[in-house]
Chain A
C-alpha cells in the first residue's frame, strides 16, 4: 500500500491517476512543516474523501503549551473532522489526549519519532498507537528482523521516497536573519562551509526550523529488498517539490514490480533532476554509524585502574578500582591504543608509606616510572 502527502487540491488528479487511495495532508496551525500554507476546507476534504480510502493529518510537532492550546482550539473548531481517518503524530504523549478527544480516529507515529528497535516499537503499540513509520536511520536487515517478529496486526510503514528531515528546532533561525511576518514560511538552500557542494534545504515555519539532508531517500533501486518487506506500507513524501516530482515518484513506486532496470534508473534520474538532489538509499542498505558506536574501550573489557600522572625519570602515579594482591601483573592501554606491561615491584602512597601486601582502591599510588606508560592510560588485568 502506498501513502503519500499532498499539499494542495491541485494534486488530487495526480494521485487519482496513480490509484493512490491513502493520503496525508498538512494544515496551517496544526502541522509544523508544510512547504505551502493551504487551509483545507471541509469541502476540499469532502472531495478528497470521495477519491481516497484514508485521509490523515500531520500533527507532527513537539508542541509547547501555548502551541498545544492553539492546536486544541483548531481541532475542536474544524468542521471536516469526520472525513479524517487519523493523525500522524511525532510526540507519543499526544496519543492519550487524541484518543480521548477523538476516539474514532487512528494514531500513527511519524518517522521522526525515532523508532529504531523492537522494544521501542512494542512500547509504542502498548501505548495505543495504531501504526508506525520506522526511522530512516535503520537498515534493511534490522527492518526485516523486526517485521518477522512483529504481530500481523501491527501496521508498520517504510519511508521510501523524499527529503529526509535531519533537524527540527523550535528556534526560527531563518526568520532571525530574514525577518518577515511571523506567519510567513521561508525556504532556502544552504551550504555548510565545511562541506562545500552539498545543498541542504532549510524551511522556517511558524513552528520552527527544519533542515533536510543534501540527498533524497530513494529506495526504488532496491526492489528486491522492498519485496521482502512488502507487507509494509510505503510512504512517499514529495512536499516542497514541483508536481512532476510527485507524479514521477508515484509512477516509479506503483509500477516498481513491472519496470525494467533501465526504466527504473530513468525515473530515478528524473527525480534527481527535478529536485536537484542526489537520490540515495541513505541508511537503508547499511548504517555505518553502528560501527562508530562500537567502542574500543568496551571491547577491551572492564578497566581496573588508570594512570593519573607520569614522569619520565621519576614516578608514575596510578589508581586502582579493584583491590589487588601485590605484586601484580597488569597491562596499560594507552590513549594512542598502544599496550605496555605495567608490573610495578615497589609501590608507595603519595606520602611515601610503602605498600607491601595488597593495593588499596581509589587511592593515588606511586611507583617508579614505567617506560611507555601514558597519562590517562587504562589498566587491565593481563589475561583480558
Chain B
C-alpha cells in the first residue's frame, strides 16, 4: 500500500527541522523573498541550503514556496534572487503564477509544483500546468478527494491535497480584499485576513462573521486519500507555532502509518483528539467529501480554542541534561509534558530547572535558554496541560 507523503510547513528553519523529525516526508518553506508568508520568519539562503542537506540526509525533501503573484516591477529582483539560489539542491519550487514558472525555468534547474494558489479545479487546468512543466499539482481546496484522484488519473500527474490547517474562505489566490482595504497585497504575502472580520448585512441589519472558515481536518478521510491514490497530503501553517507543526506531523504520521499497516483496525479518533488540543478555529472537512456548506463557516466565532500551552523547545540533549528554550513564563511547579519525535505518547517531565550558569530556578521568563535535568530528545516540544 503506497502511503501519501506528508508535506508540512516550515515557517522557519527550526520549524522545518521539527516537521521533518516529527514525521513529515517533505517540508515547504519560504525564502526571504517572494513567498506568500511575508510575516513568517522564513529562511535565509544559507538556511535553505542547510535544510536541504539535512532533509536529504534523512531521505526527505524540501520545496520552496514562490507562490506569490509578483508585479511587473518585481521581475528584476526575482531574476536576481533565482540566480542566487540556483545552486541550492531544492527538490521543487511551488508556483501559482505562470510568469513565475517561466522565470524559474529560465534561470534555475528546479522542478515545478503548481500551488493551491493557482486554484486548479479541473482536469483541463491540471493538464495546462502539466504542459508548462509542472510535475505536481496542489489541488484547489474546493475539490473533493475523489475529484483530485480522478484528475490524477485523467491527466497523469502527481497530485497533492490539503489535509489540515486554516483555510482561505475564497478560492486561494482569488481574494484581494486586503489590497483595497489595508493597502497590503494578499497575493504577495500581506493578507490581513479580512475574511475573519464581522460584516453587517444591509438586507437584515444583522452582523455575522459571514466568511470565517473553520480549520480543515482530514484525519477521518485518510482511507479516502489512500483509496484515490493521492500522492501527498499537505498541512497548512507556516505562520503557526512549533507545537502546532510538531503535533500535526506527529498525529498524521502515526495515523497514516497505522492505516497502512492495518486498515481494518484504523481508529482516527486516537489521532484527531490531540489535534483539537492546539489552537484552532473549530474543524471542518470542508470539500474533502462534498462541497463545503454552511457548517464549514463559524459565523458566531469568538476566539480560538486550545487546551495545551506551548512552553518551549528542547534544542539539544547532552547525556542526562537537555537545553530548553522557553516560549512562555514557566514555573518549576508546572505540569509539563514532552512531545518527542518517534515517541507515540507524551511523557511527563519533572521540571528541575537550572540556568546556563548552573543556578537552580523556580521561574523562567520567555525566550530564555535553561537546563532541564532530564534526558529529553532534541526537537521535543514542551507543553503544559
Which residues of A have CB within 8 Å of B208?
177
When each residue 172-215 of chain A gets 1 if its CB lies under 8 Å from chain B and 0 otherwise, what string results?
Answer: 01101110000000101111111100111010000001010111
Q: How far is the CB of B103 from chain A (nearest CB, A)?
A: 5
A168 located at the interface, meaning its Cβ lies under 8 Å from any Cβ of chain B in the complex: yes
Which residues of B have CB within 8 Å of A361?
46, 50
With A91-B121, A166-B177, A178-B203 as given contacts, are A289 and B211 in contact (CB-CB < 8 Å)? no
Complex Cα distance A368/B171, Å? 51
State whether B32 touches A295 (Cβ < 8 A): yes
Residue from B41, B97, B101, B293 in contact with A176 in the complex, judged by beta carbons closer than 8 Å: B293
State whether B356 touches A188 (Cβ < 8 A): no
Complex Cα distance A114/B174, Å? 9
State whether B45 touches A302 (Cβ < 8 A): yes
State whether A293 touches B188 (Cβ < 8 A): yes
Cβ-closest chain A residue relative to B359: A314
Complex Cα distance A315/B325, Å? 13
When each residue 244-284 of chain A gets 1 if its CB lies under 8 Å from chain B and 0 otherwise, what string results?
Answer: 00000000000000000000000000000000000000110
Q: How far is the CB of B290 from chain A (nearest CB, A)?
A: 10
Q: Tell which of B127-135, B241-249, B254-262 binds the partner.
A: B127-135
Complex Cα distance A283/B178, Å? 13
Which residues of A have CB within 8 Å of B91?
none
A95 located at the interface, meaning its Cβ lies under 8 Å from any Cβ of chain B in the complex: yes
Cβ-closest chain A residue relative to B148: A65
Complex Cα distance A91/B174, Å? 11
With A287-B71, A297-B32, A302-B45 as given contacts, are A168 and B203 in contact (CB-CB < 8 Å)? no
Which residues of A have CB within 8 Å of B176?
137, 166-167
When each residue 105-137 of chain B gets 1 if its CB lies under 8 Å from chain A and 0 otherwise, what string results?
Answer: 000000000000001111111111101100000
State whether A322 touches B315 (Cβ < 8 A): no
When each residue 155-192 of chain B gets 1 if its CB lies under 8 Å from chain A and 0 otherwise, what string results?
Answer: 00000000000000111011111011101110111100
State whether B368 touches A93 (Cβ < 8 A): no
B283 located at the interface, meaning its Cβ lies under 8 Å from any Cβ of chain A in the complex: no
State whether A119 touches B103 (Cβ < 8 A): yes
Complex Cα distance A262/B209, Å? 43
Which residues of B have CB within 8 Å of A375?
367
Complex Cα distance A183/B30, Å? 42
Which residues of B have CB within 8 Å of A123?
98-99, 101-102, 132
Cβ-closest chain A residue relative to B174: A168
Q: How far is the CB of B65 from chain A (nearest CB, A)?
A: 15
With A91-B121, A168-B170 as given contacts, are A310 and B368 in contact (CB-CB < 8 Å)? yes
When each residue 112-129 of chain A gets 1 if its CB lies under 8 Å from chain B and 0 otherwise, what string results?
Answer: 101011111111100100
Residue of B121, B169, B176, B198 with most chain A CB atoms under a 10 A cut-off: B176
Which residues of B have CB within 8 Å of A311?
355-356, 368-369
With A93-B125, A96-B128, A118-B99 as given contacts, are A192 and B188 in contact (CB-CB < 8 Å)? no
With A173-B211, A289-B179 as given contacts, are A142 and B124 in contact (CB-CB < 8 Å)? no
A304 located at the interface, meaning its Cβ lies under 8 Å from any Cβ of chain B in the complex: yes
Complex Cα distance A332/B131, Å? 46
When each residue 66-98 of chain B gets 1 if its CB lies under 8 Å from chain A and 0 otherwise, what string results?
Answer: 000111111100000000000000000000011
B307 located at the interface, meaning its Cβ lies under 8 Å from any Cβ of chain A in the complex: no
A220 located at the interface, meaning its Cβ lies under 8 Å from any Cβ of chain B in the complex: no
Which residues of A have CB within 8 Å of B33?
295, 298
B332 located at the interface, meaning its Cβ lies under 8 Å from any Cβ of chain A in the complex: no
Q: How far is the CB of B209 from chain A (nearest CB, A)?
A: 9
A38 located at the interface, meaning its Cβ lies under 8 Å from any Cβ of chain B in the complex: no
Q: How far is the CB of A347 from chain B (nearest CB, A)?
A: 13
B357 located at the interface, meaning its Cβ lies under 8 Å from any Cβ of chain A in the complex: yes
Which residues of B have CB within 8 Å of A170?
142, 170-171, 287, 291-292
B150 located at the interface, meaning its Cβ lies under 8 Å from any Cβ of chain A in the complex: yes
A2 located at the interface, meaning its Cβ lies under 8 Å from any Cβ of chain B in the complex: no
B147 located at the interface, meaning its Cβ lies under 8 Å from any Cβ of chain A in the complex: yes
Q: How far is the CB of A274 from chain B (nearest CB, A)?
A: 17
B residues engaging A (CB < 8 A)?
Answer: 32-33, 38, 41, 44-47, 50, 69-75, 97-103, 119-129, 131-132, 140, 142-143, 147, 150-151, 169-171, 173-177, 179-181, 183-185, 187-190, 194-195, 197-204, 206-208, 210-211, 213, 287, 291-294, 296-297, 299, 315-316, 318, 323, 325-326, 355-357, 367-369
What are the nearest 9 A-B pairs in CB distance? A93-B125, A120-B99, A119-B99, A321-B46, A309-B369, A142-B72, A176-B294, A289-B185, A375-B367
A-B contact pairs, 19 of them (CB 8 A): A62-B119, A62-B171, A64-B147, A65-B143, A65-B150, A93-B120, A94-B125, A96-B131, A117-B75, A119-B100, A166-B180, A173-B211, A193-B198, A289-B185, A292-B183, A293-B188, A302-B44, A302-B46, A364-B369
In addition to A214-B180, A304-B46, 15 A-B residue pairs with Cβ atoms within 8 Å of each other are A65-B121, A93-B125, A95-B128, A96-B128, A117-B71, A120-B97, A168-B174, A170-B292, A174-B210, A193-B200, A195-B181, A287-B71, A292-B185, A293-B190, A295-B32
